[in-house]
């Protein structure tokens, strides 16, 4: 390492799993996102968890302006990164003190030199070529304290959509309103003042699908708009690909909360795009979503420490602003799709300020549930994610939830995933319309927008934003507002009375949850 430089903690990247096929063009113009530390002189957000345990109407809430003052960046840190950029022939754009975010633009060669790394091109099995790096980033020692993370040099895919297409015939299937009725969601609620944000890392939607789908349901359609983040766009192309995720999210959230506004934040599928999309949604002072749904994720082991820390920081800001962030817990059981024989949990569902959403197999008629167990169609199909985080400590709200030690050898305590659950089995899946094709879809991808829709209904009913739910719902216990799921397994973990690492506290009793909150 050159004299006067230091490593950025948490920036280490493992070697890409795909072969290197060449060098990057050093003259190609690009940009990186730099997230800064919270201003040392600011109030901070340490009070968030205590406030979340209070009744919704009594909680302290921060406006976006107040959030900037409480937890924004120090202008001196912006200046430090601006000097680093100038010293390397780069420029700084799009400075956002509230989000503690700025962009550094310029040639790839200069960007790599500024942050002390080398870049190469790698080819995935599907033919996609992406750039990547290995090892840690370095910066001048006097700049390092200002920087929380640097993203965009490495563009390997970061998230996978958590939906499952039905293979063969469904045992049964439901429209989203039928699922909402089984879970006793509030009805007759005017949600026209509520906005749900959806995070999408690919694919797109067609307005013709939205018009046809909601017309057939006889349900007031959502007003859907899109926001481009880091060049991501609404680009529908393949019903069995990410389009299925986008349609599922819009149609589930919009159908269980008729008339809600939906804003879809499209971003590239990289850690930079993922982080920037969530940050854009949480800090969106124009659309002001009160709930955000994330149906993408990846095993904790595939993320850098700085990326996980930055995501959790953004989710903590969401909690301070009264925004509920619902995240799919994964569709590959307790392994989360990692083939090392160990248990893994999905991130960002494992972030302490995310509402992790697991999956069940739901059977019922009308408003009566006849059976509900852990979703597990393995080995030929999917299963709900869930387990114990290897990264995040046991949060205070789970202190009495009896979260077990990790199922891995020598595994210790950690954040338990998921928090809540809902119907996810493709065999009892959701009827959706994707690129003009009717199909049945499942996965925990359906559970995140289901909970976001329920949150919008509750917010509208109460006339306030319930925000960060965990301290309230864990404090009340499983029986207060949930159907306790006590049968089934996701591999390494089994369901049982109370919280478990398959379905969390259980599936919602919407009417009871409204009373609780």
Burial degree of 396 (CB within 10 A; 0-12, 13-18, 19+): middle
Q: Is the pLDDT score of 199 beyond 90?
A: yes
Backbone angles phi, psi at 436, to 5 degrees: 80, 0
Q: For 147-164, what is the mean pLDDT?
A: 90
**φ and ψ at 425, to 5 degrees?**
-70, 125
Map tokens 């959030």 to a residue: 67
313 is catalytic: no
Contacts with 249 (C-beta within 8 Å, 6 or more apart), sequence order: 198, 200, 264, 293, 295, 445, 448, 449
211 is annotated as an active-site residue: no
- Is 498:484 a contact under the CB 8 Å cutoff? yes
pLDDT at 47: 67
Count CB atoms within 10 A of the CB of residue 331.
29
Active-site position among 209, 445, 500, 507: 445
Asked if residue 98 lies in contact with residue 68, where contact means CB atoms within 8 angstroms, the answer is: yes
Q: Which of 260, 270, 193, 273 is nearest to 229 (CA)?
A: 273
What is the spatial distance between Cα 54 and Cα 57, in angstroms, rounded to a whole number? 8
The residue from 49, 154, 243, 245 that is catalytic is 245
The pLDDT tens digits of the residues spanning 123-140 come to 999 889 999 999 999 999
The yes-or-no verdict on residue 170 having pLDDT over 80 is no
Residue 502: pLDDT above 70? yes
DSSP state, residue 58: G
Domain ranges across the chain: 5-37+73-151, 160-474
For domain 160-474, which CATH number applies: 3.40.50.10420, 3.40.50.200, 3.40.50.920, 3.20.20.70?
3.40.50.200
What is the predicted pLDDT for the residue at 367?
85
Instruction: Examine the residue annotation and report whether 249 is marked as an active-site residue of this protein.
Output: yes
Question: Of 77, 200, 230, 249, which residue is the catalytic one?
Answer: 249
Q: Please provide the DSSP assignment of 118-130 as one string.
A: --EEEE-TTS-EE
Q: What angle do the packed helices 207-217 and 242-256 form, to 10 degrees? A: 40
Is it the case that residue 44 has pLDDT exceeding 80? Answer: no
Residue 470 has pLDDT above 90, yes or no: yes
Q: What is the enclosing helix (H) or strand (E) of 83?
A: helix 75-87
Q: What is the pLDDT of residues 301-324, one digit of tens each?
A: 999 999 999 999 999 999 999 999
* Per-residue CA distances from 247 to 202, 230, 280 (Å): 12, 21, 21
Would you state the pLDDT for residue 168?
66
Q: What is the DSSP letter of 302?
A: G
Mean pLDDT of 14-22: 92
Would you state the structure tokens that stand for residue 273, as one six-digit string?
Answer: 């795009």
Q: How far apart are CA 326 and CA 149, in angstroms?
A: 24
pLDDT at site 444 = 97
- Average pLDDT of the chain is 93
Q: Output the pLDDT for position 161.
A: 81
What would the mean pLDDT of 200-228 be, rounded to a whole number? Answer: 96
| 434, pLDDT greater than 80 | yes
CB of 79 closer than 8 Å to CB of 67:
no
């Amino acid at each position: 390492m050159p004299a006067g430089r230091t490593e950025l903690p948490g920036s280490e990247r493992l070697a890409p799993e795909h072969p290197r096929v060449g060098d990057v063009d050093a003259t190609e113009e690009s940009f990186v996102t730099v997230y800064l530390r919270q201003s040392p002189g600011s109030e901070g957000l340490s009070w968030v968890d205590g406030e979340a345990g209070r009744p919704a109407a009594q909680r302290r809430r921060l406006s976006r302006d107040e959030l900037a003052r409480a937890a924004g960046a120090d202008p001196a840190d912006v200046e430090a990164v601006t000097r680093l950029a100038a010293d390397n022939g780069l420029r700084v754009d799009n400075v956002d003190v509230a989000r503690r975010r700025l962009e550094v633009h310029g040639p790839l060669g200069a960007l790599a030199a500024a942050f002390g790394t080398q870049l190469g091109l790698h080819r995935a099995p599907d033919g996609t070529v992406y750039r990547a790096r290995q090892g840690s980033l370095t910066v001048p020692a006097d700049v390092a304290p200002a920087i929380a993370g640097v993203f965009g040099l490495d563009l390997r895919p970061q998230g996978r959509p958590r939906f499952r297409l039905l293979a063969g015939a469904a045992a049964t299937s439901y429209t989203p309103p039928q699922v909402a009725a089984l879970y006793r969601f509030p009805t007759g609620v005017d949600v026209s003042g509520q906005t749900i944000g959806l995070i999408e890392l690919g694919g797109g939607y067609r307005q013709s699908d939205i018009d046809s789908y909601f017309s057939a349901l006889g349900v007031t359609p959502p007003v859907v708009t899109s926001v481009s983040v880091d060049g991501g766009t609404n680009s529908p192309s393949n019903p069995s690909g990410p389009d299925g995720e986008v349609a599922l999210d819009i149609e589930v959230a919009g159908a269980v909360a008729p008339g809600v506004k939906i804003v879809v934040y499209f971003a590239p599928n990289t850690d930079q795009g993922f982080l920037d999309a969530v940050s854009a949604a949480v800090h969106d002072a124009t659309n002001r979503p009160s709930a955000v749904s994330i149906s993408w994720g990846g095993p904790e082991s595939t993320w850098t420490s700085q990326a996980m820390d930055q995501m959790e920081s953004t989710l903590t800001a969401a909690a301070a602003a009264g925004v509920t962030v619902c995240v799919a817990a994964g569709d590959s059981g307790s392994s989360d799709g990692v083939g090392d024989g160990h248990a893994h949990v999905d991130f960002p569902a494992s972030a302490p300020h995310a509402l992790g959403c697991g999956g069940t197999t739901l059977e019922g008629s009308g408003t009566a549930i006849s059976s509900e167990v852990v979703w597990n169609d393995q080995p030929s199909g999917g299963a709900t994610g869930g387990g114990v985080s290897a990264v995040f400590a046991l949060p205070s709200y789970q202190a009495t939830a009896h979260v077990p030690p990790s199922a891995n050898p020598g595994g210790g305590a950690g954040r338990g995933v998921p928090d809540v659950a809902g119907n996810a089995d493709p065999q009892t899946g959701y009827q959706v319309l994707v690129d003009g094709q009717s199909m049945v879809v499942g996965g925990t991808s359906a559970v995140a927008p289901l909970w976001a829709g329920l949150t919008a209904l509750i917010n509208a009913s109460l006339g306030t934003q319930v925000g960060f739910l965990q301290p309230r719902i864990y404090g009340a216990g499983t029986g207060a507002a949930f159907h306790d799921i006590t049968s089934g397994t996701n591999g390494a973990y089994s369901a049982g009375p109370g919280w478990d690492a398959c379905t969390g506290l259980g599936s919602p009793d919407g009417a009871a949850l409204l009373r609780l909150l």
